[in-house]
Structure 1
Amino acid sequence: MRNLAFLATVGATALMAGGALAAEGDTLAQVKSRGVLNCGVNAGLVGFAAPDANGNWSGFDIAICKAVAAAVLGDATKVKYVPTTGQTRFTALSSGEVDVLARNSTWTFQRDTDLKLDFAGVNYYDGQGFMVRKDLGVTSAKELEGATICVQTGTSTELNLADWAKSNNVTYKAVNIDSNAEGEQQYTAGACDAYTTDASGLAATRAAFADPDNHIILPEIISKEPLGPVVRHGDNNWGDIVRWTLFALISAEEYGITSANLEEQSKSSTNPDVQRMLGTTDDYGKMLGLDKEWAKRAIAASGNYGEIFAANIGEQTPIGLARGLNALWTQGGLMYAMPFR
């Protein structure tokens, strides 16, 4: 009887362990079974993630969601966009409410380790800045002594502000906000003298103002903010899918593959990396649990990384961001994809 009891306990433990292991690696299966990718996004930040009047989402981060959906499900439209705030985004990911988070999230030590999250890569190198009204007469963040500053709670932005102020002997009064929309409302209503967040977010927020020319982004950048898509820790295959989808978009720009010449390049390119990536030779998709044209579909969804940048936040858009650090490594920037081989 004791042996039977022991075997039953071992069996139950094995089943529980097997279930845990299955749960850790089943995101791809769940997405395929569901037929839609649940993508956590910003609740509304023009240029990065925002719905139009008809509920159609677009933006720089939205393109990541579309690329992953195209790679996995064969259709870039099969995405459910789940709006999240700075306080709810990681809970939504950890709980399984979303499969991937594509929402201006900074890769930090604590988030990577303590929160048990995995950052699949960096799709925008940013830094925290400050925005003020021109008539405030301020030209440097160090002149904000005694100012009221709008800052999102539960973010690295809040911590960076405190660290910077302490290091520079600047006192301030924080006006806590929960979202960019609230920050924009409070700032325009005059509830705070300055608004601080990622510099790209400030540019996007300013672009939505009726009088953008009356607001300036101060020159100081007080932090490093490597932003990128996030997945749950423990599902390595799903992390690989999101990571290499991002790398495919970056590599496509480096190799001159665009939404316009994608079909031609897949047939005629003699570059071995391009052939492997687009599935012309070898079957790299099989290693991810996908078919051989997964990367080709990801690129077709919204174009290569450069096309996505230019269309949503580039210098010819109202947001007007230069590539800067986000230029390709071959052009003096930091955008560098791992090789397809």
Structure 2
Amino acid sequence: MLNTVKRGFTCGAGLAVAALAAGFIAAAPAQAGLTLDKIKERGVIKVGVGSQAGFFAPDANGRWQGFFVDFGRALAITVFNDPDKVEFTNSSPQQRLPALQAGQFDILLSAVTQTITRAFKLNFHFGPVVFYDGQGILVKKSLGVNKASELDGATIGVQSGTTGEQNIADFFKKTGKTYKSVVIEDTATFTQALTSGRVDALTQDGTDLGLRRAALPNPDEYVLLPERLSKEPLAPAVLGGDDRWLEIVNWTVYATIQAEEFGITSQNVDTFLTSEDPAIKRFLGVDPSLGQAIGLDPKFAYNIIKKVGNYGEIFERNLGKSTKIGFDRGLNNLWTKGGLIYSPPFR
């Protein structure tokens, strides 16, 4: 530790400053940000989502379901201890970022890719990455193409308002090939552009294309090419300027991950309440000191896991091998199992 005490800086003065600093540190967790104030006054969290089975879609009763939806419900539990105090609104790729900037949403859980320009230029702050993806290309099998570099001169459909436009341009510039871009704004007609022959290929996040291919009446006639043209870390996005709200988002997500690391699930969480492990006792609120120190319900993590589940449960329930989606976790596995999903310590 560096000694930064200057001459003339008395011990008494130093203690006074230290005490004042300690007071600010102790008081900080109790201070709610403007976003949280508005949410509590309104009584509901406004969440912008997309429309894709497995990730976010209303069921037959109109109740939203999906991977990202579950994180919205977990956030409502942290704030209200009620998973239903959240309002989901479908927002297109073109609308969602301006809507967040305009304050129409408290958070975007719409598969937003974390990028430097969105952080600096648009003033968005991102929570933890909850899904690692990469941009792919979907083509008709009859085209006879086995890899993206064989698409020289092809007409390719891209979704407007996404990172896909720049990624596909960078790819063709790097490979020295040419292509014609067709920008499609309506997500409902995106797949139709390929099936109707309007374009030779579609490019979008690989998981999105995989879902679109699986939904076709003749999926075997289409091929998702093996390359991934980009890194697409999908994370919750909030408007900058409210650090308290950002941290609530962060640690809500981390709670689901830490629970899986501990082996705690919605089914066995109550058995862990008698654990003698100090870290587990703090995490579940049996020892309330951690929650009290940060100004949250000491049992917020317990409540999330009990009502929504851990990260692995959320993934498997919405996207996993037992679902129609059938995704392998891959990079979205825990870091202890070869993936990239990782929680900082709860202490």
Fold-level similarity (TM above 0.5) = yes
User: What displacement does 1:147 show?
Assistant: 1.3
- C-alpha change, 1:150 and 1:288, in structure 2 (3 Å) is farther
The TM-score with structure 1 as length reference comes to 0.88
Which residue does the alignment assign to 1:340? Answer: 346
Q: Deviations over 1:215-252 (max 9, x none)?
A: 22100011111111111111001000000010001111
Distance, in Å, in 2 between the alignment partners of 1:181 and 1:273 is 47
Which residue does the alignment assign to 2:19? Answer: none
Which residue does the alignment assign to 2:39? Answer: 31
Which residue does the alignment assign to 1:284? Answer: 290
User: What displacement does 1:190 show?
Assistant: 2.4
Pairing partner for 2:308 from 285, 288, 302: 302
Which residue does the alignment assign to 1:157? Answer: 164
Which residue does the alignment assign to 1:238? Answer: 245
Amino acid at match of 1:39: V
Moved more, 123-132 or 287-296: 287-296
Specify every segment of 5 or more residues in structure 1 that has no aligned partner in the other structure, as ranges.
Answer: 1-23
Q: Deviations over 1:260-311 (max 9, x none)?
A: 111222x122333322221111343345543111122222332111111111
User: What displacement does 1:214 show?
Assistant: 2.5
Which residue does the alignment assign to 2:333? Answer: 327
Which residue does the alignment assign to 2:197? Answer: 190
Pairing partner for 2:259 from 252, 255, 277: 252
Distance, in Å, in 2 between the alignment partners of 1:317 and 1:283 is 40
Distance, in Å, in 2 between the alignment partners of 1:98 and 1:116 is 14
Moved more, 313-322 or 143-152: 313-322
Report the aligned-residue RMSD: 1.6
- C-alpha change, 1:298 and 1:178, in structure 2 (3 Å) is farther
User: What displacement does 1:212 show?
Assistant: 2.5
Amino acid at match of 1:138: V
Which residue does the alignment assign to 2:231? Answer: 224
Q: Percent identity?
A: 47
Which residue does the alignment assign to 1:201? Answer: 208
Amino acid at match of 1:298: I
Specify every segment of 5 or more residues in structure 2 that has no aligned partner in the other structure, as ranges.
Answer: 1-31
Q: Deviations over 1:40-87 (max 9, x none)?
A: 100x11111111233211111111111101111111122111111112
Moved more, 298-307 or 227-236: 298-307
- C-alpha change, 1:209 and 1:302, in structure 2 (3 Å) is farther
Q: Size of the alignment, in residue pairs?
A: 316
Which residue does the alignment assign to 2:108? Answer: 101
The DSSP-based 3-state class of the residue aligned with 2:204 is: strand
The DSSP-based 3-state class of the residue aligned with 2:53 is: coil
Amino acid at match of 1:290: L
Q: Deviations over 1:134-185 (max 9, x none)?
A: 2222111111111111111122111001000110122111121124323123
Bigger CA radius of gyration: 2
User: What displacement does 1:93 show?
Assistant: 1.3
Amino acid at match of 1:26: L
The DSSP-based 3-state class of the residue aligned with 2:138 is: strand
Matches within 5 A, 1:22-171: 25-42=33-50, 44-171=51-178
Amino acid at match of 1:25: G
Contact kept, 8 Å, 1:283 with 1:291, in 2: the verdict is no
- C-alpha change, 1:271 and 1:215, in structure 2 (3 Å) is farther
Amino acid at match of 1:111: R
The TM-score with structure 2 as length reference comes to 0.87
